[in-house]
Chain A
Amino acid sequence: MPQIFRHSTNLISRLSIYGSAFIIAALGYVVYAVSGSSYMTDVNVARDQPVPFSHKHHVGELGVDCRYCHTSVEESSFAGLPPTQTCMTCHSQIWTKAPILEPVRASYRDDKSIEWTRVNALPDFVYFNHSIHVAKGVGCTTCHGPMQEMPLTWAANTLQMSWCLGCHREPEKYVRPKEYVFSVTYEAPANQVELGRKLVKEYKIRSLTDCSTCHR
C-alpha cells in the first residue's frame, strides 16, 4: 500500500501544532494594538471644521479665556458651544472681509447655527458633568490636552472607560489647585501626588467608581 502522506508532512504537522500557539498569541496582540490605535480611537487626529477655527491662535496667542466661549462649563453638564454672536463680538470689527470667515458672517446674517464637527463624543449611555469636574480642581487641559497648541482641534484622550477610571480611582494624580483650572500653561509640579492628596482632602474629592456614577 502506498503511503498516504509525503515525508515532509511530519515537519508540517509539527510546525503547525507548535506554531499555532504563537500565531494565536500574535493575533491577540494585533487585535489589542489595532483597537487601541488612533486609527480606531481618532485620538490626536485633527477634525475638519466648516470654519478652520484655531485654538492655538485664540487661546495660545491671544490669551482668550476658555469660559469666554464655553460659558456654561461652571454651571452645566455641557461646557457649551458659542453662538455666532460670540464670534462676531470681535469679528464684526476685525477681519471683517476675510474670506475664511464668510461662513461665520453667513451664519450671523441668516441666523443659522454653524454646524461644527464634534471632536470629543461621549457614548449616549454615559452621564458626564463638566461643572463638577471643574469645581473639584480638574483642569481643562487635563482631559482636553494642550488646547493652546491646536491649530485645528483634536481629541487628546480616548474617553474610554479605563481612561475615566484612571482618574476616578486615583484622583490625587491629576487634580490641581482651583485657581489653575482654566490655565492652559499649568504644569503638574514634581510633588503632584503629595499636593494631590492634600487637594483631595481639601476639596472633599471622593473616588466614585460605582457603575451608577456615570451609567445612570
Chain B
Amino acid sequence: MEPEGLQSSAAAGHGAPILGPGYTAGTVTDKISAIVLGQRRRRGWFFGFAISFALLMMFLYAVTWLLAVGVGIWGINIPVGWGFAIVNFVWWIGIGHAGTLISAILLLLRQKWRTSINRFAEAMTLFAVACAGMFPLLHMGRPWLAYWMFPYPNTMGTWPQFRSPLVWDVFAVSTYATVSLLFWFVGLIPDLATLRDRARSRIKQVLYGILAMGWRGSAVHWHRYEMASLLLAGLATPLVVSVHTVVSFDFAAAVVPGWHTTIFPPYFVAGAIYSGFAMVMTLSIPIRKFYGLEDFITMRHLENMAKVMLATGLIVAYGYMMETFTAFYSGNTYERFAFVNRMTGPYWMTYWSLILCNIAIPQLMWIKKIRTTVWSLFVISLIVNVGMWLERFVIVVVSLHRDFLPSSWGMYYPTRWDWMTFIGSIGLFLTLLFLFIRYLPVISISEMRVLVEEEEKK
C-alpha cells in the first residue's frame, strides 16, 4: 500500500484513486452495512421519503382518475395522439440505460471504477423501467386489457401484429426489466447474506435470510456467483443497445416527418446513455454527501461519468445535426418544413431550450475545474435531465402537431393531469429509491472488499 499516492485524493484524473485511504475489508463492510442496519440519519431519510411518498400519492390520485374517466383528461387529441405519456416513457427508459451500461459493459471491460456506483445505478435502472413501463399501459386507455399484447391462445383467434414496433417494444421492455432484475438480485445475494449475519432483530435476520437464499460464501458459491454474473452481464450487454433501438423504431418506422429517420436507433441509444449518466450523477452526488461515502464514490468516479456524458452528448449533438442536414439535403418539402417548424414554429422555445440544455451547457465540462467541482456537476446533470426530456417532447409532440395536411394541424397543451402523472412518476421513482437506500446496501459490499484487497496489493 502506498498511502502517499492514495492520500492525494483531491486530485482527479486517470491515476486518481477510486477508494479513499486506510480502508480494510472490515471497515468497508461496517460503513456500508451501517446505512441499512444502523439508526443514524433517520430524520433526513424520513423527510426525503415523505416528500417522495406524497408525490407518489399524487400519482395514484391522477392514475385513479385516469382509469375512472379515460385518457380524455390528458391534453392528447388528433393530431397529437402521443403526448406526455410517450415522452415520459422514452425519457424513463432512456435513464435506465446507464445502469445496464455500468453494470454489464463496464464489468466485461473490467473497469474497476464502476464498483462503487454499479449497485445503485442498477437499482436506478429497475426503478426507471418500472416508471417507464407504466406510461404505455396508462396511455392504452384500457390497461386492464394490456395482456392482449402478448401472444397467447386467445378467444379472438388472432396474434399481436408482429410487424409493428409497438409489439417489439413489449418484448424489448419486458426482457429488459427481467434481465435487470435478475442481474441486480444476483449481485445482491452475498451482500444480503452479510446483512443477514449482521442483523440483530429476528425479523431482519429472517427476511434478509430468505433473500440471501442460503448463501454461505463457500468456494462453490463464489464460483457459481461469478459465473452467473458474467452470464447475466453477457445477456444484458446487447440490451443496452437493443432496447432503445426498438423504442426508436416506434418512431422511425412511422411516416411522420421528423420521425421517419434512419439515424434514430444510434442517436436514441447515445441519448439514453447520456441521460442515464446524468441521472446517476444527480443521484450519486447527494447520496455520497448525506451518507458520507466520498471515499467510495470519489471525484474520479464523478469525473469519469462527466467524460462519458461529454462523449455521448457529442454523439447526440451529431444526431441533431445530421437530422437537420438530412432534412435539408433530401429536398423533401415535408421533411424540410418539419425542421424549420421545430426551430421557428409554435414550439420553438422547447427546441432551443433543448439545444441549450443538451449541447451548449454540457460543453462546460471540457473545463477540468468544472468537471471536478461537485456542485457544478450536479447542476449540469440536472440540466441534461431536463434537456433529454425536452428532446423527447420535441420528437413526439412537435413532429405530430404539423403533419402533411395543414387542415389536420393542431396544438398540444398538457393539462394538469399530464403534469401530475409526470411529476408523480418521479415520486414513484424516488420512493423506490429511498426504500432501496434504507433497506439494501447502496454499494456492493462484496465487490468493495475485493477492491480493498487489490488496492492493498499495489
- Residues of A in contact with B (beta carbons under 8 Å apart): 4-5, 9-10, 13, 32, 35-36, 158, 160-166
Instruction: Return 25 A-B CB contacts under 8 Å, by A number.
Output: A4-B196, A4-B205, A4-B206, A4-B209, A5-B209, A9-B214, A10-B214, A13-B213, A32-B153, A35-B155, A36-B155, A158-B155, A160-B155, A160-B156, A161-B155, A161-B157, A162-B154, A162-B155, A162-B156, A162-B158, A163-B157, A164-B157, A165-B157, A165-B158, A166-B157
A199 to chain B, nearest CB (A): 23
User: How many residues of B are in contact with the other chain, CB < 8 A?
Assistant: 12
Contact with A along B193-217 (1 / 0, CB 8 A): 0001000000001100100011000
CB of A26, distance to nearest CB on chain B (Å): 16
Complex CA gap A35/B156 in Å reads: 12
CA distance A165 to B209 in the complex (A): 53
CA distance A165 to B206 in the complex (A): 54
Contacts of B214 in A (CB 8 A): 9-10, 13
Contacts of A158 in B (CB 8 A): 155
Interface residue ranges, B against A (CB under 8 Å) = 153-158, 196, 205-206, 209, 213-214
| Cβ distance B166 to chain A, nearest Cβ, rounded Å | 16
CA distance A164 to B155 in the complex (A): 10
Besides A160-B155, A160-B156, A161-B158, 6 more A-B contacts (Cβ < 8 Å) are: A5-B206, A9-B214, A10-B214, A162-B154, A162-B158, A164-B157
Please, how many angstroms separate the alpha-carbon atoms of A65 and B205 in the complex?
Answer: 78
The answer to whether B196 and A162 have CB atoms under 8 Å apart is no
CA distance A117 to B174 in the complex (A): 45
Q: In the complex, what residue of chain B is closest to A165 when comparing beta carbons?
A: B157
A80 to B196, CA, bound (A): 73
Chain A neighbourhood of B155, CB < 8 A: 35-36, 158, 160-162
Please, which residues of chain B bring their CB within 8 A of the CB of A162?
Answer: 154-158
Q: Min CB distance, A100 to chain B, in Å?
A: 38
Shortest CB–CB separation between residue B303 and chain A, in angstroms? 43
Instruction: Identify which of B156, B205, B213 contacts A161 (C-beta below 8 A).
Output: B156
Please name all residues of chain B whose beta carbon is closer than 8 Å to the beta carbon of A5 when the two chains form the complex. Answer: 206, 209
Q: Look across to chain A and name the residue whose beta carbon is closest to the beta carbon of B156.
A: A161
Bound state CA distance, A65 and B153, in angstroms?
A: 39
Interface centre among A4, A10, A163 (most CB of B within 10 A): A4
Please give, as numbers and ranges, the residues of chain B lying within 8 Å of A35 by CB-CB distance. Answer: 155
Q: Which residues of B contact A163 (CB under 8 A)?
A: 157
Distance from A41 Cβ to chain B, minimum over Cβ atoms (Å):
9
Roughly how many angstroms separate A161 CA and B148 CA in the complex, as a whole number? 14
A165 partner residues in chain B, CB cutoff 8 A: 156-158
Chain A residues positioned under 8 Å from B157 (CB to CB): 160-166
**What residue in chain A is nearest B154 (Cβ atoms)?**
A162
Nearest CB in chain A: distance from B275 CB, A: 35
The 3 closest A-B pairs by CB, nearest first: A162-B157, A161-B156, A160-B155
* Closest beta carbon of chain B to A211's beta carbon, Å: 9
CA distance A160 to B157 in the complex (A): 9
CB distance from B407 to the nearest CB of A (A): 24
Nearest-neighbor residue (CB-CB) of B209 within chain A: A4
A162 CA / B153 CA spacing, docked (Å)? 10
A166–B155 CA distance with the chains assembled, in angstroms: 11
State the CA gap A32–B155 with chains docked (Å).
10
Which residues of chain A have C-beta atoms less than 8 A from B158's C-beta? Answer: 161-162, 165
Cβ–Cβ < 8 Å partners of B206 in chain A: 4-5
* A38: min CB distance to chain B, Å: 14
The interface residues of chain A lying within 8 Å CB-to-CB of B154 are: 162
Q: How far is the CB of A208 from chain B (nearest CB, A)?
A: 14
Residue of B with least CB distance to A158: B155
Q: Which residue of B has the minimal Cβ distance to A9?
A: B214
B residues within 8 A CB of A9?
Answer: 214
B159 → chain A closest CB, angstroms: 11
Residue of B whose beta carbon sits closest to that of A163: B157
How many angstroms from the CA of A35 to the CA of B39 in the assembled complex?
Answer: 52
| Distance (whole angstroms) from the CB of A191 to the closest CB of chain B | 26
Chain A contacts for B196, CB-based, 8 A:
4
Q: How far is the CA of A36 from the CA of B154 in the complex (A)?
A: 10
With A and B bound together, what is the CA distance between A10 and B209 in angstroms?
A: 12
Complex alpha-carbon distance, A32 and B147, angstroms: 13
Q: Which residue of A lies closest to B196 (CB)?
A: A4
Give CA–CA (A166, B156) in the complex, Å.
10
Q: A164–B209 Cα gap in the complex (Å)?
A: 54
CA distance in complex: A158, B214 (Å)? 51
Query: Given the complex of chains A and B, what is the CA–CA distance between A9 and B212 in angstroms?
Result: 13
What separation, in Å, do the CA atoms of A9 and B209 have in the docked complex?
Answer: 11
**Bound CA span A5–B153, Å:** 42
Q: Which of B156, B157, B206, B213 has the most CB of A within 10 A?
A: B157
A48 to B196, CA, bound (A): 64
Measured in the bound complex, the distance between the Cα atoms of B204 and A4 in whole Å is 10
